[in-house]
Amino acid sequence: ILNVEQSPQSLHVQEGDSTNFTCSFPSSNFYALHWYRWETAKSPEALFVMTLNGDEKKKGRISATLNTKEGYSYLYIKGSQPEDSATYLCAFFSDNNNDMRFGAGTRLTVKP
């Protein structure tokens, strides 16, 4: 069983705060890690696809890093805004099958 863990489960921050959360995954047989942003009543929106150890990706105020040797990825949001409120999901692909395993997500609430 491929366990993908995300922490924290939920997070409440004030507008303007910077925040980060973690996705942990098996360090063996890594192929790719995907990050998604999922707003209530909408579909998950792809943020990043990360495949290389040491990868850093950025999209506006959101960035992510990847450490495949120790099996974790961090997602950072700089200067959080209320519109950043959403659940952030990570999903892991192993290199020995095509199964995609999702974490349970981190639910972020940004208060104005």
Partner 1 sequence: DSGVTQTPKHLITATGQRVTLRCSPRSGDLSVYWYQQSLDQGLQFLIQYYNGEERAKGNILERFSAQQFPDLHSELNLSSLELGDSALYFCASSVSGKKGNTIYFGEGSWLTVV
Q: Which is nearer to partner 1, 14 or 51 (CB)?
A: 51
User: From CA 31, how far away is CA 19, in angstroms rounded?
Assistant: 27
Of 33, 37, 52, 50, the closest CA to residue 91 belongs to 33
Q: For partner 1, which residue of 23, 89, 108, 110 counts as binding (CB under 8 A)?
A: 89
Using CB under 8 A as the binding rule, whether residue 71 contacts partner 1 is answered as no
Q: For partner 1, which residue of 12, 45, 58, 81 counts as binding (CB under 8 A)?
A: 45
C-alpha distances in Å from residue 78, one per residue of 7, 28, 40, 42, 86: 18, 31, 21, 23, 15
Q: For partner 1, which residue of 34, 64, 68, 80 counts as binding (CB under 8 A)?
A: 34
Using CB under 8 A as the binding rule, whether residue 103 contacts partner 1 is answered as yes
Q: For partner 1, which residue of 40, 43, 60, 112 counts as binding (CB under 8 A)?
A: 43
Beta strand pairing status for 106-111 and 10-14?
Answer: parallel
